[in-house]
Each structure stands twice: as C-alpha cells, then as structure tokens.
Amino acid sequence: MTNTGLTPLETLAAKVKEAAKVLNIASAQERNNAIERIAANLLSHEEEILAANKKDIATAKENGIAPAMIDRLALTSERIAAIAAACRQVITLPDPLGKVDFGATLPNGLEMTRVKVPLGVIGIIYEARPNVTVDAAVLCLKAGNACLLKGGKEALHSNMTLAKIMADALREAGLPAHGIALVEDTSRETATQMMRLNGYLDVLIPRGGAGLIRAVVANATVPVIETGVGNCHIYVDETADLAMAVDIIDNAKTSRPSVCNAVETILLHENIAGELLPKLKERLDQHQVTWRGCPRTQAILGEEIATATEEDYATEYNDYIICCKVVQDMEEALMHIDRYSTRHSEAIITEDYAKGQEFTRRIDAAAVYINASTRFTDGGEFGFGAEIGISTQKLHARGPMGLDQLTSWKYILRGNGQIRK
Amino acid sequence: MTNTGLTPLETLAAKVKEAAKVLNIASAQERNNAIERIAANLLSHEEEILAANKKDIATAKENGIAPAMIDRLALTSERIAAIAAACRQVITLPDPLGKVDFGATLPNGLEMTRVKVPLGVIGIIYEARPNVTVDAAVLCLKAGNACLLKGGKEALHSNMTLAKIMADALREAGLPAHGIALVEDTSRETATQMMRLNGYLDVLIPRGGAGLIRAVVANATVPVIETGVGNCHIYVDETADLAMAVDIIDNAKTSRPSVCNAVETILLHENIAGELLPKLKERLDQHQVTWRGCPRTQAILGEEIATATEEDYATEYNDYIICCKVVQDMEEALMHIDRYSTRHSEAIITEDYAKGQEFTRRIDAAAVYINASTRFTDGGEFGFGAEIGISTQKLHARGPMGLDQLTSWKYILRGNGQIRK
C-alpha cells in the first residue's frame, strides 16, 4: 500500500484509467500517428530490444526451458521487422470507432444514435511471447483503448523494453504514455489482483493455455472474454467425397497442430469408415500422426492403434495425435460433439444438402463448417485484418476478435425539451 | 450431493441445459406458440396465482415488510391481466434470431455468414417482484434461451406457482418444460452457487438493488451483465433555456424517483444558477423534494438547504432528494460527472451547439442526452418493445437490453473442399 491507500497495481491501473480518458476520445488520425511512431521506434531501438531479449533467453536456458518455448520467446532483427510491419498493417485497417450501428427518430422527436466507442481499459494476461506485447497493445490503441499488459515472467526484460518504447512513442505522438502499461511484477498474487481490478478494467482478456484461462475464469471479478481452447471435430458423412475428406482432415490436423483451430477428433460414418480409414492413415503417416481409436477404428486399422479413452476425447492435444470414432449416423456424431466440444470450430464433410443444413443448425460453436478445414477460424482468414484472440464464450464476442470486438457503444439522444409522460 | 455427484442446483441446471438444446433451435413460431400458451394459462390459473400470492403477502406482513415493498409483491386480477398482455406484446416483436448481421465470400470461395443465435441458458437473480418471473422468462424464451430464475424469498410461493404454470405451458406447446426453471432454495449459499455454475449458465443477469449487483460481481465466475445502478446527472449550461431546464429537471427527478434513470444531482453553471434556482425550487417544492446543496447553492436558496457531502454526490437515492452543485463551467461539470457517474444516463441542457457536441463526445455513459430528460433510458422508450434491464457495463450490451441483447452469434462457412495453405 502507498500513502494513497492504493496497492502498487492499483496506482498503475489508476494512471492507465486516466490515460484512457484521453485515448478514448482521440481521433483516428491521432491513434494512427501513435501506432506509426510505435513501429518506427521499434525499428530504431532494435539493439535495445535484442539486448533485453538476450537476458530473457539466457535465463530461460539456465532454467532448462524447452527449445520450442525458447523459440517463441526469441526475437531477431527479422521478427522485430515483422512486428513493426504488423503495426503498420493495423494503421491501414478501417477505424472501428464512431460508426453509428443503430438509430431512429423516436415518436417524441428525440433523435437517437448508437455510436461505437472504445471499451475503455483492456487488461491482457498472456504467456511468454513478447510479440503479443506489441500486437495486443496496438490493436487496443487502434480501437481507442488503453491497455494494462501482464506477460509471462520468462519474457519480462523483453516486455519491459517493448512497453517502454511504446509508452514513449505515445508521449511523442502527443498522447498519454500510460495508455500502454506493463505490470512488471509477474507473481501469481499480482495476476490474481489484476483479475479483481473492478473500477479500473472494463474487460480482461486471457491469452494462453487452458490452465491460464481456467485461473482467470475462476478468479476474475472483472468482465472476462475467454479465448482459445479448441477441441475441434470433423464429421465425415456417408455421402462425403472421400478424397476431399482426406485433404481436409490432413490439413486440419497437420498444417499446424499446435493451434486452437486444429482438429482433435474425427467422427466417421460407419458406411465409409472402412474405405476412408486406410487412405487417411496412409496420408497422416507422412506426418507421423499418432492414432487413438474406438474399437471399430481398431478393427479396421489393426491393433497397433491405441484405444481412445474418454480423456482422449476430452483433450485438446495440440499435437500430432488424432482421435477417431466410427459412428452409426450423424445423430451419434452430433451427440459426441455436444459432449466434448469446446464450442470453437466444428466441421462436416458431406454431399447431402439436408445433412449440411442440419449440422450447421444443430452445432453450437463459434464456427461451423461444411466441406472446409477448421483451420480457417482466424481473424486474418475471416477478413478482420488482425485479431486479439478467438472467443469461445457467447457474450460480447464469439469467434475471432478483431478491432470491432474491442469496442462498446453509447446512445446519444438529441432533443428539444422532451420529458417523459 | 446426489448419487450423480451433482448438487441439487447442478442437477436442476443440467436439466435446463438439456432443455436449452431444444429451445435454442426451436422456430419462431414454436417459441411464439409457447408464449401464447403461457399468457393463456396465466389467465386461466388466476385463482391459483392469487392464492399463492396471498401466502407471500401474509408472511411479508408478519415479517413487518415495508408497505411499498408489499405493494411490489402483490398480484391482483388486473396485474395478472397486465402480465399476460405483456407476454402477448412480446409475441408481436420481431424474431431476434436467424438474422445474418455480417457475411462475405472469402477470397478462397468460402461463403461466410454470421448468424444471430440464442445465448443458451440465462440465469437471472432478482428481488421480490413476481412479475419479473414472467417478464424475464418470456423474453428469454422469445430469444430462444432457456432460463434459470432465482427470485427473492418474499415472493417464493408466487414464483413457484408462476414457474410451474410456465413450465406446463412449454410442455403443452411441445417444448421441454425445463426451458423455464425456478430455483426454489432462496438461501444465499444457493445464490452464490448459482453465480458459479460455469458449464451450465452462459450468462447471469442480476436485477435489483446495488447490494445484489455488488454481490454478483464479487462472487460470479460465470459471465455477468451488470444492470441498473444509475447515479444520473443533468448539467445546465449558461446558454440553457431556463424554462426547459425546470421542466426537464422536474420530470427527471419527480416523475418516478425510484427508478435508475431518475436524476440524482444537478450541476448548474454559475451564470444562471441565481436565476434558475428559485424557479426550480418552487417547482420541486410541489413534490416536497429535499435539497442538498454546495455552499453556493445554499447562498442562493438560503441556509435551510442541507450541505451536500461527498457521500450525497456518490449516492443513488431513488427518492425525492436532489443534490445541487453550482459550477464554474462545463469542464467542472464534466469532472464531477466523471467522478461520481455510474455511466447510466447523463444530460446537458444548452442552446450552444459546440457545448452539446463536446458533452456527448466526452461523457462516458450508456446514454447521453442533449435537452431531454434522463428518464427516457428504457427499452420501451428506445423502441425495443421490452427490456430485461439496463446494462451499465460496456461488454456485450450497454443501455437498455432488449431481445437483441439476449442473443449471441455463430459463423457458418460453406465450402467445397477448402484447406488452409
């Protein structure tokens, strides 16, 4: 506690909230100028960023962090250039603010408009990827929001340097430096405090693995948007084009297994399982995909296939592992999906019009596909230009969250003396 | 715990969730038929409802509940007829589901549509007004949602009867009875459990006083929409039409002081305070409004006016009490509002174009008015036909929540074999 009665985190959050009041009403030009300044300063401070990142890498290696994670942590000249280029890409996107998305002249003559405004202050808790520090801050800024960032401790030096460069850029662009702020205390206690910053944060977005998301949902008292967990399915109907099915499943499983829109379980109609499975196995063998199957899958592919357990069906492996279940009909597939789905992305492969319609109607998920790979659930692919995550909840934002999902609304009513009877 | 390992509340919630799967995909006609059946059955079961209500009233009187609260609790033939009429009014509203609010053919040929779908299961915690039981359930149903209702213990018998009538009506209409369910255990422990029904509730809406809202925000782990608290202000600029100012303030304070969109504090520009205050006092005296003023207000109106404290400025009295502060300029008014506002409804009275523009731009609230009463912030007045509450948060819904705010979205993507490069 300081002598104001605020914790250090609250003191910082109060400054961010003050900064937000200016950012929230800054013009699109002012916000874009600040983003350009951020891009330019990232490039001109490359050495400083790389030096800070080196410290993080050295500590990570001392601590025996896995090579894949060190790769995600590492910055290079090329990666910094890519981050700056991504900032400039955001400048080119249309302004999400100020749009009137609803309006009417009321019977009493009041002229009502509903206008898009910033959310205010956005908190983001994420893991050890320093590029997220810039990506997230710049998207928040483009939508007129201040942000309070808390990254993983592994990236602390990198994040401190990046946050300072961005705060300085804001100041140089004539906006308050605290519009982008980093929580430098990476303890769990401070993370929990951050989840309870009611009155300071308008929303908190966790970006990371299932454990982080669960901790935020369990502890947060501020509004949260859940992102990311994807236990995705593809159902292959008896009428499917089997060559298409092989291509789509291969793509959905192996093009990038570590991401949330990769497929985890396939459900095959019993009438095509016998013909499809050997072809599919041959294709996935090229990527050393491990199979876990139901007894009927095992009967077709042979006993070297491990038995798929309840836990397998419930797990998002994010790896070269696929679960397979042979089903009697689409109804059984729908029941399986309803039970295990995280409501992210689900697909059917079918040539039957009515089955496709029924599948899209019945599936409860952010994205439902007919005859396409689940891998398309992505802000860039959907044409949003950029995204801050993929929401798997139903409130406020569902699916890829672009700039539009980082805004709120206000009603403006212009009258000439109206009173309510 | 039952032998399924679920608590009684979870057992009930699981049934509601199952019912939701059917309701969520019911056609508009099926949902409207069920609402008509509810209206008809409420009317045909009038005696049963009045008998249950009598028990509640008797208990309330024994417990010395305040007459105003007993009035809110009481049902009569007329009130039941009004509730049934409100149901039939909801039938006439446009279907909020199925609308495509965004869509595109992506460069790869995928045809993407974003479609309005139900939220799923909506939890509502409210206080002792049995009419809310029907109003809320019917709005949820119209938008394809199942609902889990928890009303105040004072209205338990009335609510049980109303919920049973509605559940039976659903069944008679061919929809699952558990689409509308009441939590009959009115303890605080069960309320807290309900706030943590992750996996069962898609959103929880508290309807009631500030204490209830605070408890929900502090304890809920499910997504919440905060409603209702309104510490509203009217700023009277030096250019205001003073007769208009008197009419608007009178309306905003005295037409219904108990509601959230009533004004609590007025801020008067120093150049017109001397002329306006005596006129305004004369008008508000007709309703025995009590004043609390800053020293300058006291200097103008005389010392019988109590001094307005920090606490007065921060309080939503919902009563015939008004706080008044004389300010130097609009800037001081904006600072006062920013400090004490609950971001519900704020108004300026001015004939100066630029001041009006600046006020609407700078005020951060659900509704901002120029030259009109704050009392218009209401779903009916805004043309939504009905509302389930007024959201004072920025996520998902802000301002009056009509049927549209009880929906979510899903993306449907129709392809012909697309895979991601």
Closest CA to A227 of A207, A204, A256: A207
User: CB of B291 within 8 Å of any CB in chain A?
Assistant: no
How far is the alpha carbon of B142 from chain A, nearest alpha carbon, in Å? 18
Amino acid identity of residue A145, one-letter, is N
How far is the alpha carbon of B36 from chain A, nearest alpha carbon, in Å? 25
User: CB of B377 within 8 Å of any CB in chain A?
Assistant: yes
Is pLDDT above 60 for A2? no
The bridge status of strand A390-391 relative to strand A399-400 is antiparallel
Predicted confidence band of residue B1 (pLDDT cuts 50, 70, 90): very low
Is pLDDT above 90 for B98? yes
User: CB of A364 within 8 Å of any CB in chain B?
Assistant: yes
* Closest partner CB to A419 (pick from B251, B412, B420): B251
Report the alpha-carbon distance of residue B94 to residue B80 in Å, rounded: 24
Closest CA to A142 of A207, A90, A86: A90
User: Can you list the domains of chain B with their CATH numbers?
Assistant: 8-225+401-414 (3.40.605.10), 232-381 (3.40.309.10)
Reduced DSSP (H G I as helix, E B as strand, rest coil) percent helix, strand, coil of chain A, to 5: 45, 20, 35
B274's tokens: 């001397």
Mean pLDDT of B292-314: 95
What ranges in B238-293 are assigned the alpha helix state H? 242-254, 270-285
pLDDT of residue B3: 59
Report the alpha-carbon distance of residue B29 to residue B343 in Å, rounded: 38
Predicted confidence band of residue A1 (pLDDT cuts 50, 70, 90): very low
pLDDT of residue B229: 85
ipTM of the complex: 0.94
Better pLDDT: A47 or A65? A47
pTM of structure: 0.94
Mean pLDDT of chain B: 95
Report the alpha-carbon distance of residue A412 to residue B360 in Å, rounded: 7
Report the alpha-carbon distance of residue B85 to residue A163 in Å, rounded: 58
Predicted confidence band of residue B211 (pLDDT cuts 50, 70, 90): confident
B143's tokens: 């938008």
Intra-chain end-to-end CA distance of chain B, in Å: 50
List the beta bridge partners of residue A148. Answer: A123, A181
Query: In this complex, do A361 and B413 lie within 8 Å of one another by their Cβ atoms?
Result: no
What is the per-residue pLDDT across A344-398, written as a single tens digit (0 to 9) for each? 999 999 999 999 999 999 999 999 999 999 999 999 999 998 899 999 999 999 9
* Closest partner CB to B362 (pick from A25, A104, A414): A25
B78's tokens: 């007329």
Is pLDDT above 70 for B305? yes
Considering only alpha carbons, which residue of chain A is nearest residue B245?
Answer: A417
pLDDT of residue A3: 59
The string of DSSP letters for B98-148 reads S-EEEEEE-TTS-EEEEEEEE-SEEEEEE-S-HHHHHHHHHHHHHTT-EEE
Are the CB atoms for A273 and A391 separated by under 8 Å? no
Mean pLDDT of A268-292: 97
Mean pLDDT of B27-49: 98
Q: What is the largest CA-CA distance in chain B?
A: 81
Query: In this complex, do B395 and A362 lie within 8 Å of one another by their Cβ atoms?
Result: no
Neighbours of B366 (CB within 10 A): 25
B 112-151 residues inside an 8 A Cβ radius of A = 112, 114, 117, 119-120
Is pLDDT above 90 for B364? yes
Report the alpha-carbon distance of residue B363 to residue B235 in Å, rounded: 12
Predicted confidence band of residue B303 (pLDDT cuts 50, 70, 90): confident
The bridge status of strand B390-391 relative to strand A345-349 is unpaired
- Burial state string for A93-121 with b = 16 or more CB within 10 A and e = fewer than 16: bebbbeeeeeeeebeeebebbbbbbbbbb
